[in-house]
Amino acid sequence: MCEKNYPAASSESGMTDLRSQVQPLQGEKNPVPKCYPFFRGKPVYGGNKEAIGWTMVSVAMTINYVGVGAFFANPLLRIAENVLNCHIQNADANINLNEVCGPAITFIKPSSLLTFYAMIIGSVSSCSLPFLGAFVDYTRHRLSLGRLTSALFTICLLPLMFLNKNNYIGILCCHAFSVFFSWPVTVFYFAYLPELTTDELQLADWTKCITMWSYLSMLAYLLGVIGGVYVLGKSEDLFFNVQFGMGLMFAIVALFLQIAWWFLFNKREPLHKIPEHSSLCSVAWKQLYKTGLNIKRNYRSLKWFYLYTVFANSAWQAFGIIVLAYLTHVQQFTPLQTGIGFGCSLVGSVPGAMVASFITRKFDPINSARVNMVLIIVCVTGFAIILTGPDQQVRTYIYLVFVGFNGGWKFGVDRLISSSIIPESQNAEMMGFYLFSDQCILWVPLMVYTIMNETGVSNRVSVAVLDVYLCVSLVCLFMTGSYAEARAEVKRTTVYSGKGGIDTAIATAAAAANADEAAGEGNTEGTKDDNIVKDIPSPPTKQAHETIAEA
């Protein structure tokens, strides 16, 4: 898996690429270390250790998501509801309610607690993203800060396994800090994505592999937890489920993040210098404004894609959070049933990633995203119509497979587009803006859902309202134009034709020309050491253009 060889070539643009900082000298043979993973006799990701690091961080963050959702959020909501009911039932009793029942949250319904909490965390996180992006653009501390924030993030996860009715409010605060530290980790590792390779087909294959490994790892984690509690005869023990699930999650996250940040990612030099009389904080928001203005004026397709990201991702992420509350309060799922539901969605995500790869190659990434968005609108609408109440476990599990199918498709294709239609000299800057777009209005659908739930509106209606954001995002995606046009706007050529689909003549000619250049430069297979990151440019050579013209 992910072992395909793509011919290397030197960039014709004359610009110095960040990847050159970690390349060996031309002709110098540096074999891949023995500890490096191989598949079918070839190094995984072509010997690119940063791609493995990216995969490991992705796996850790997705396991954190599913672990918290299944074995922390569900018990937390059940504890909050039980504590509040205990306070109500014993209101007239002459007892210390906080000692007997535990401290109660009374200013909001337990069914609204998760969305309200996510709304607050999301708004705070989105405000911090420009500042974090400035660390990527204006300092050389991306790697060191990645190490620091990943360690703090991991430490904040440790208390989650000790959740009970007496400390759940304090534990919730610990989780809030973990979410706060998770965003620097996300910003710093996302900055490496467009720097892994400049070959769009290779990037498509790698994002597919990363998506599949992420979801397969989550599925393995869920199977391990669910199987473990059943084998130990603790399936009905709520707090043991929390301890086992959170403990295993903590071990995986701690191991994978530290390996990736300490042994696989490389240092980067700053992309820009801080202007005189400016601070890192002030330049962060100025940079965000300038980037937005630059996109609006010069990159029409990128502008519409980011608008699509704003609406689509806010709605889809809100849907994922709302589903947790819906399964707990409407479907009356236990933590183990929620874990099984997550497992079903993960089963669907793997074929979703594979179908995404097929449709992307058959048409192009943007057309693939359009098909996916139509299916997501159908998915959200069907969820509100089909899942109506308790005692629908089987129906819910089957439907969650469809939810996971769409999530696996969207997960891969969005990352591919976001890193392939940006100017090559502005990788980190544009990826920072993408992450800001991803989070900036997440609080809006969550706030709307919370208000509707607090005023007694049906949960099914509140879920269906998400289609408004998704339909707006679909319009923005059609306004993006073709993938070939989007690449042309940022002066990057593509193997896809203007009507969608791979142009065989372009792909073949570019590959042949790059192979000839690589052979002329004396590149040989197996000359990479563990620090090399392949530099494969997208512009076809003169020979390729001549062949295309003849075709």
Domain boundaries, the chain: 43-266+286-489
| CA angle (125, 127, 131) in 5-degree steps | 100
SS3 38: strand
In this prediction, residues 20-24 reach a mean pLDDT of 38
Q: How is residue 546 written in tokens?
A: 């001549």
Confidence of residue 183 (pLDDT cuts 50, 70, 90): confident
Q: Residues 536, 514: contact at Cβ < 8 Å? A: yes
What's the pLDDT score for residue 409? 93
Distances in Å between the alpha carbon of 363 and those of 254, 329, 486, 539? 40, 41, 15, 20
Supply the mean pLDDT for the chain: 81
Residue 6 has pLDDT above 50, yes or no: no
SS3 94: coil
In tens, the pLDDT along 143-176 reads 998 999 999 999 999 999 999 999 999 999 999 9
Distances in Å between the alpha carbon of 502 and those of 486, 539, 549? 15, 15, 16
- Distance, in Å, from the CA atom of 416 to the CA atom of 427, rounded to the nearest integer, reads 13
- Distance, in Å, from the CA atom of 423 to the CA atom of 446, rounded to the nearest integer, reads 33
In this prediction, residues 476-498 reach a mean pLDDT of 84
Confidence of residue 334 (pLDDT cuts 50, 70, 90): confident
- Distance, in Å, from the CA atom of 53 to the CA atom of 204, rounded to the nearest integer, reads 17
In this prediction, residues 280-294 reach a mean pLDDT of 77
Label residues 417-444 b or e (16+ Cβ within 10 Å = b). Answer: bbbbbbbbebbbbbbbbbbbbbbbbbbb
Q: Select 43-266+286-489's CATH number: 2.30.110.10, 1.10.940.10, 3.40.640.10, 1.20.1250.20.
A: 1.20.1250.20
Residue 201 has pLDDT above 60, yes or no: yes
183, containing H or E segment:
helix 168-190
What's the pLDDT score for residue 367? 93
* Nearest C-alpha neighbor of 320 from the set 386, 406, 241, 249: 406
Q: How is residue 513 written in tokens?
A: 């020309």
Burial of 138 (0-12, 13-18, 19+ CB in 10 A): buried
